[in-house]
Structure 1
Amino acid sequence: MTGRRGPALVWTAAVLAYLAAVVHRTALGVAGVDAIERFGLSATGLASFSVVQLGVYAALQIPAGQLLDRFGARTLIAGGSLVMAVGQGLLAWADDVPTAIVARVLVGAGDAGIFISACRLVAEWFPAPRVPLLVQLTGMIGQAGQIVSAVAVALVLHGAGWGTTFGALALAGLLVTAVAWLGVRSPAPTHASVVASAVRTRFVHAVREAARPAGTRLGFWSHFLTPFSANVVAMLWGVPFFVTAQGRSPAEASALLSALTVSAMVSGPIVGRWTGRHPLRRSWSVLASAVSTLVAWVWLLVPDTPRPFWQLVLFVVVIGAGGPVSLVGIDFARTFTAADRLGTATGFVNTGGFTSSIGAILAVGVVLQLASPPGATTYTLDAYRLAFSALAVLWLVGVLGVLRNRRLARADMARAGTVVPPIRDVLRRRRA
């Protein structure tokens, strides 16, 4: 694939695969109420579905990064799409919990390498100044998969039922597999890619070397801190919370999930342009997102009565912006990591947000069950208020991780000759 259209076509195929992966990833969140009824689940039982899926995804990030360094993006994207299609086909047929768990394991495993492969393709095909914006655009378009889940999947689910819905997702996954295999290519080998393909270091050593720079660890904690609030809502607990605790209709709940996704899609290019123009101030967007997310949660959870619809919309808009901000962590990996370890480093960073999301989803499920009568399958607003408050622990851990590693990364940069000037000096020069 050569010529001017080559990069655009490769990127389009990769983005389509990522969009489909997000649909597969979030479809169960739309079907949460149906899953409770189909499998007779408790809150922790339902949470276990997403925890298993995300746990597999997170656990495979670094192995997927190593496979990406060795075999390239085409193999990971096409292979991952096929595995997810098989998982959704199995879920369409499942009528017991063990089978459904195996299906979610397959979805998580197939999903693991797709986004990091798309990011690698952007770095390989496009000039460096355009990479931050294009990574954000990749995330933005991919997150439209949440709208597909919130609208199209919900529509088919309520009209045609469980088996038809997940069977259709399996067929769509097979189609995407074919598109990825035909459309994704790596550019002509460069010195860096030749080195990357030749490197065969041991797993532990490769991970240690990829995570050694403080800037890469800053990327991990940035990715840990910013997306888990949106993931908790989009992937599992949003629809049950809006319907059973806030008294909203399924259509209104779908609209709120769509608003969350639109927020992520709109804010992504803004974050990307900021990152590209102000590479020394990338952590600002991470900390600003963390503070605004905390304010949104406090504003939602302090009152003990259902909130008006407009407030719920503002809430999902604020937390939705955390997804694009998490991709700043991927950009930290790109700029602080050698080319031959970029896949492994990107996988390491991408583990952050899904580790925090696993903890958040599980924490909400456990607290909901502890705060509710035995055998309950629907939960009160007070139980949700208590459960969502547990997210403050993860928020605090993430903030401390960002602040510590930002300080270490700036010290490393200073030793290399790049000093980040204090903001008061920047403002003083602008006024002058």
Structure 2
Amino acid sequence: MSSAASSPSAAAPSLPGDPPGGRRAVFVWGVGVSVYFVAIIFRTSLGVAGLDAADRFHVNASALSTFSILQLLVYAGMQIPVGLMVDRLGTKKVLTLGAVLFTLGQLGFAFSPSYGTALLSRALLGCGDAMTFISVLRLGTRWFPARRGPFVGQMAGLVGMAGNLVSTLVIARLLHGVGWTAAFAGSALAGVFVLVVMLVFLKDHPEGHEPPPLPASHRGVAYVRGQIAETWREPGSRLGMWVHFTTQFPAMVFLLLWGMPFLVEAQGLSRGTAGEIMTLVVLSNIAVGLVYGQVIARHHAARVPLVLGTVLVTALMWGLTLSWPGAHTPMPVLLALAVVLGACGPASMVGFDFARPANPPARQGTASGIVNMGGFTASMTALFAVGVLLDLTGDNYRVAFCVIFVLQALGVSQILRLRARTVRRERERHVASHVKTVHVPV
């Protein structure tokens, strides 16, 4: 029996120094999550505008994929620096900088006259986007008790992913209603709005729960290197990264760029129907996330089985979709694929549940950065490979999407390698924490 209460990695009980939570915490956390929500809208807006971007800038599949690759390259490369920034500067400063950058990036994309300036705009957007999720995770640990950490993290991911609905339902319609410039410039106003709200209402922590100031010895380059090295040495950090790597990218590749072209060009669907299928991915993400969150809260031993099960079902559905005889895959199969892809996001959040107990509070931002880097590195690799293969094969999506299986195989091999080591370390920490709390009468 492996309930949350009996698992060595179960959520910790509330401690005397824990934040109180409550309505005030929910409000402040909600302000921070709204910034992440808008960042997701901007990040995924290209997913519904891929065909329009190809026509606007007169580029092929490889050049089109470069938009998302560069954006994710910047995002992934920023994860560890952002984690260190959040640990040092706090949430509000980092989120403010992020909101300014991703709003400028979205606005620049709206008015870009050429492919080169559009690339720079997406890079700027990726830099700002990189500062949001880790900041929101840190905000949750500062405002809610430790025992609520896994649930708060899952909810942040679900609320943020809902930004995909705005992309598929609103941005897509705006593009075909008011045009490219008005659609992207108008959406940039959402960034200005959340920036103002955040500056007025967001606070890093509740009163009386200020973190202790960093000693001088914790501010040098050597200390930063030590933070990164110590975090990486924890098998839980590495396992979390590979879980994120293996589970997130199939849905990201679909939603971020190649889903719409695949459904329209390869499957012969209208843009409206393709948008509805992409919306189903997001709705499935939200529903599955609620289920996964409850299961993991009660049974921490279910983490790896849920991850591996999600990877297996995703591989099977992609295999069925790509190998179906005939020109087009039947609609029921495409709908089932969309539902399964919705499980990828919640499964990737499990990676943070491995890294969180493996690292002390002072390294939580750094650990989250390492985990988050995994999925976006895989997504960037897959986006590039699909684009190259499409150009080499004359837009053969069946061949191009086979890169998914290669990356999944790599990730699963690493998960299996690190699984036992992580569980052993969790048990050691669990035993050590119980030893420290035993008081022997004299």
Q: What TM-score, normalized to structure 1?
A: 0.91
Within the candidate set 238, 241, 258, 1:217 is matched to 238
Structure 1 residue aligned with 2:343? 321
Structure 2 residue aligned with 1:368? 390
Structure 2: unaligned runs, 5 residues or longer: 1-18, 433-442
- 1:170 and 1:278 map into 2 onto residues whose CA distance is 41
Q: What TM-score, normalized to structure 2?
A: 0.89
Within the candidate set 315, 327, 330, 1:308 is matched to 330
- 2:409 and 2:269 map into 1 onto residues whose CA distance is 31
Equivalent AA in structure 2 for residue 364 of structure 1: V
Structure 2 residue aligned with 1:336? 358
Asked whether 1:139 is paired with 2:157, we answer: yes
Equivalent AA in structure 2 for residue 390 of structure 1: V
Per the TM alignment, residue 188 of structure 1 is displaced from its structure 2 partner at its CA by: 4.1
Within the candidate set 373, 376, 379, 1:351 is matched to 373
Per the TM alignment, residue 411 of structure 1 is displaced from its structure 2 partner at its CA by: 2.8
2:203 is paired with a residue whose SS is: coil
Per the TM alignment, residue 72 of structure 1 is displaced from its structure 2 partner at its CA by: 0.7
Aligned residues: 410
Tell me, yes or no, if the aligned pair for 1:80 and 1:114 is still in contact at 8 Å. Answer: yes
- 2:123 and 2:258 map into 1 onto residues whose CA distance is 19
Tell me, yes or no, if the aligned pair for 2:92 and 2:202 is still in contact at 8 Å. Answer: yes
For residues 24-423 of structure 1, the aligned pairs below 5 Å read 24-188=42-206, 193-194=211-212, 199-202=218-221, 203-304=224-325, 305-372=327-394, 379=395, 383-416=396-429
Tell me, yes or no, if the aligned pair for 2:284 and 2:339 is still in contact at 8 Å. Answer: yes
Equivalent AA in structure 2 for residue 200 of structure 1: R
With over 3 angstroms needed to count, the CA separation of the structure-2 counterparts of 1:158 and 1:138, relative to structure 1, is same
Equivalent AA in structure 2 for residue 27 of structure 1: S
Equivalent AA in structure 2 for residue 42 of structure 1: N
- 1:256 and 1:343 map into 2 onto residues whose CA distance is 35
Partner deviation per Cα, 1:277-331 (whole Å, 9 max, x = no partner): 1223322211111111111111101114311222211101101111011011112
With over 3 angstroms needed to count, the CA separation of the structure-2 counterparts of 1:55 and 1:300, relative to structure 1, is same
Tell me, yes or no, if the aligned pair for 1:69 and 1:196 is still in contact at 8 Å. Answer: no
Partner deviation per Cα, 1:96-122 (whole Å, 9 max, x = no partner): 111001000111000001111111111
Tell me, yes or no, if the aligned pair for 1:58 and 1:351 is still in contact at 8 Å. Answer: yes
Tell me, yes or no, if the aligned pair for 2:20 and 2:144 is still in contact at 8 Å. Answer: no
1:226 is paired with a residue whose SS is: helix
- 1:220 and 1:174 map into 2 onto residues whose CA distance is 32
- 2:353 and 2:158 map into 1 onto residues whose CA distance is 15
Q: % of aligned pairs identical?
A: 39
Equivalent AA in structure 2 for residue 370 of structure 1: L
Tell me, yes or no, if the aligned pair for 1:133 and 1:276 is still in contact at 8 Å. Answer: yes
Per the TM alignment, residue 226 of structure 1 is displaced from its structure 2 partner at its CA by: 0.4
Tell me, yes or no, if the aligned pair for 1:50 and 1:236 is still in contact at 8 Å. Answer: yes
With over 3 angstroms needed to count, the CA separation of the structure-2 counterparts of 1:104 and 1:73, relative to structure 1, is same
- 1:157 and 1:296 map into 2 onto residues whose CA distance is 31
Further displaced range: 157-166 or 135-144: 135-144
